[in-house]
Amino acid sequence: MSMQTIGRPTRPETNAVAAAAPEGAKGLLQYEPLIFELGGWSKTGVDLPDVAADVADDLGDLVRTAPIGLPGLSEPETLRHYVRLSQKNHAIDLALYPLGSCTMKHNPRLNEKLARLPGFIDIHPLQPQSSVQGAIELMDRLSHWLTTLTGMPAVALPPKAGAHGELCGLLAIRAAHEARGDARKRVLVPTSAHGTNPATAAFAGYTVEEIAQTTDGRVDLADLEAKLGPDVAAIMVTNPNTCGLFERDVVEIARLTHAAGAYFYCDGANFNAIVGKVRPGDLGVDAMHINLHKTFSTPHGGGGPGAGPVVLSAALAPFAPEPWIVHDQNGYRLIEGREGVAAQAFGRLSAFHGQMGMFVRAYAYMLSHGADGLRQVAEDAVLNANYIKARLGDLMSPAFPDGPCMHEALFDDAWLEGTGVTTLDFAKAMIDAGFHPMTMYFPLVVHGAMLIEPTETESKAELDRFCDTLRVLALDALSAKDDPAALERFKAAPVAAPLRRLDETQAARKPRLKWTQPAAPAPLAAE
């Protein structure tokens, strides 16, 4: 459903052709109303035979007694409706997607082709395991790659996303503590961690305590050591962190954590910055989720379901969720309870491994790159981010100017001081310039944050196109200090998008999520 009725442009059009067109139509981009407003209430795009009366009788009180309330459109009307809506969205197939902390990169079409092979796309979770040997073998081989790349001895495949993986890791940690009769209540989370970390810890029943950050954007070791104690179950560190920086003291962080009897959980959402270069297991990590949609090229967002496998240290491996993959003389199997092993799994995390397509895509990505290619993934991701930092650093203010960044370049809003232009204004102006905004106001530890992650899949030409555009916008923003007209352009942006700027606060607090049919006009009074 389109929400185009909210925030329609109201500015007067000076061009005669534009003035004659429906509002929102520009050039070859068509204005498109809500599907409910297309006038298809009395028609349908397909003819269906009448239903026999006795079939309806079998439905009892489930028989529909009123119209379904959905419009009926012909095939071309339906197709055009969704194509027109798609033209109002930014996409990775259109241009660079600079969202920081999200790794919005190109997904090779080879992966998509393989994920659609009948032996993968047509299987059902209740099939006999003997009939899906190839699928289970692929999961086993994927597991081998994940454990090899991370230096961890075990992996749990069931988690459906990063936050689900965090929950998996914390539940394994809790099971490990409880197995030795040492129930603990606190989890420590640095200010530079992903926001899902404290949320997941609280959901798992822990009390969350924040660890301070140093002036150079990393974990404050003194504060960590002061807060570690016998009631701390784990520390959750994102590395590279959300400031786009590698935690140089990660080995010492692990040592201090283990000395206190706690476990080291690492948020692996940014693993694409170090894959093939560093093995988290060698750094002392006990559990880490891996977002396949970030590091190994599976669809991010609407391509679901997602996948967030969790790699585990030897200390936590016995507590991984069921089922496990085994390979023996009977073939490949998913089993609950490992024969001959004193496993203490916390149970199932999900009913089925439902994300088979994600496993296929990730494994295809690994095979097509090889170990050397995956190492280059990390090198190119870091190179591209540092190129953006270098090209924009003289106009915009890097939040942490000393030294290189990792996979994302982080700027604050200090360079906008005195201009009247805010981070939000600058981001909205990027839409008029043809680019999706970067991540704004995150991480929270940086004022007016602008977080840009180019990923490894962007060419220098595309990076230059992006940087050239932002340099022009930055110069315009700086000129707003003495030019009211320039300031107004930023405050009015976007003006070339299908929708004008919304009231962000009201959109969040009072969203209009339901279409209501307008009341019929009152009849004219008889003379």
* This prediction's pTM: 0.88
SS3 for 107?
Answer: coil
Assigned token pair, 333: 């199997």
Per-residue model confidence (pLDDT) at position 19: 46
Count the Cβ atoms, other than its own, within 10 Å of residue 483.
13
Could you give the 3-state DSSP secondary structure of residue 104? coil
CA–chain centroid gap for 285, Å, is: 23
End-to-end CA distance of the chain: 43
> Residue 517: what pLDDT?
77
Report how far residue 233's alpha carbon sits from residue 100's, in angstroms, rounded to the nearest whole number. Answer: 30
**Pairing relationship of beta strands 397-398 and 207-211 according to DSSP bridges:** unpaired
The contacts of residue 252 (CB under 8 Å, 6+ apart) are 221
Whether the Cβ atoms of residue 262 and residue 189 lie closer than 8 Å to each other: no
* pLDDT single digits (tens) 264-311: 999 999 999 999 999 999 999 999 999 998 999 888 765 456 899 999
Task: List, for residues 49-77, the tens digit of each pLDDT value.
Answer: 876 666 656 777 887 777 777 888 888 88
pLDDT of residue 317: 94
Distance between CA atoms of residues 239 and 213, nearest Å: 14
Could you state, in chain order, the average pLDDT of each consecutive group of 10 residues for the chain (527 residues)?
Answer: 35 43 67 83 78 66 78 88 89 91 90 93 91 96 98 95 94 95 95 90 96 95 97 96 95 98 96 96 97 88 74 95 90 77 76 89 96 97 98 98 96 98 97 95 94 96 98 98 96 89 88 79 59
The sign of the torsion formed by the CA atoms of 452, 456, 462, 465 equals positive
Distance of alpha carbon 186 from alpha carbon 313, whole angstroms: 21
Q: Look up residue 148 and give its amino acid.
A: T
* Enclosing H/E stretch for 123: none
Could you read off the pLDDT of 450-498 as tens digits, one per residue? 999 999 999 999 999 999 999 999 999 999 999 999 999 999 999 988 8
Please name each of the domains of the chain with its CATH number: 16-86 (no CATH), 110-366 (3.40.640.10)
Token pair in block for residue 182: 């040492």
Classify residue 286 by its DSSP letter: S
Tokens 């080879």 -> residue: 110
Q: Which of 312, 317, 293 is nearest to 304 (CA)?
A: 293
Spatial separation of the C-alpha atoms in residues 200 and 269, rounded to whole Å: 14
* Site of tokens 């929400």: 3
